[in-house]
Amino acid sequence: KAGVTQTPRYLIKTRGQQVTLSCSPISGHRSVSWYQQTPGQGLQFLFEYFSETQRNKGNFPGRFSGRQFSNSRSEMNVSTLELGDSALYLCASSSLLAGVPDTQYFGPGTRLTVL
């Protein structure tokens, strides 16, 4: 099976712009989670989508949003970019057994730099 893919791998934007990141989960996985990784902060949970519905949401401002399509592919959007949004954005997919959190499989990440 192909792994989790994320596009683009690298992105440079300026403050005030918006950006859309894409994630394709492992075939058959219906749960997709997004994380922001910065040095010293570890991984901060953004949100999780399952069957096109946002099931969990982390403590991030409304500028961060996402969606999931019927084929389980997911996009994350950040509007009005700030310098502090520079980070590695990771996507992870899992098969989610009923009531049992399955292993999360991570993509390579998108490195976002905001100038």
Partner 1 sequence: AQTVTQSQPEMSVQEAETVTLSCTYDTSESDYYLFWYKQPPSRQMILVIRQEAYKQQNATENRFSVNFQKAAKSFSLKISDSQLGDAAMYFCAFSNTGNQFYFGTGTSLTVIP
**What own/partner pairs with CB < 8 Å and gap ≥ 24 does 41-44 have?**
43/90
Footprint on residues 50-109 left by partner 1 (CB under 8 A) = 50, 55-56, 90, 92, 94, 96, 99-109
In the complex, the smallest distance separating the C-beta of residue 12 from partner 1, rounded to whole angstroms, is 18
* CA–CA distance, 38 with 21 (Å, rounded to integer): 17
The reply to whether 33 sits near partner 1 by the rule CB under 8 A is yes
Which stretch, 16-24, 27-35, 61-69, 75-83, contacts partner 1 (CB under 8 A)? 27-35
Q: β-strands 105-106, 87-94: how paired?
A: antiparallel
Which stretch, 17-25, 28-36, 64-72, 78-86, contacts partner 1 (CB under 8 A)? 28-36
Cβ closer to partner 1: 72 or 104? Answer: 104
The reply to whether 8 sits near partner 1 by the rule CB under 8 A is no
Q: Is 83 left (phi over 0), alpha (psi -120 to 50) or beta?
A: alpha
Binding site for partner 1 (CB under 8 A): 3, 31, 33, 35, 40-43, 45, 48, 50, 55-56, 90, 92, 94, 96, 99-109
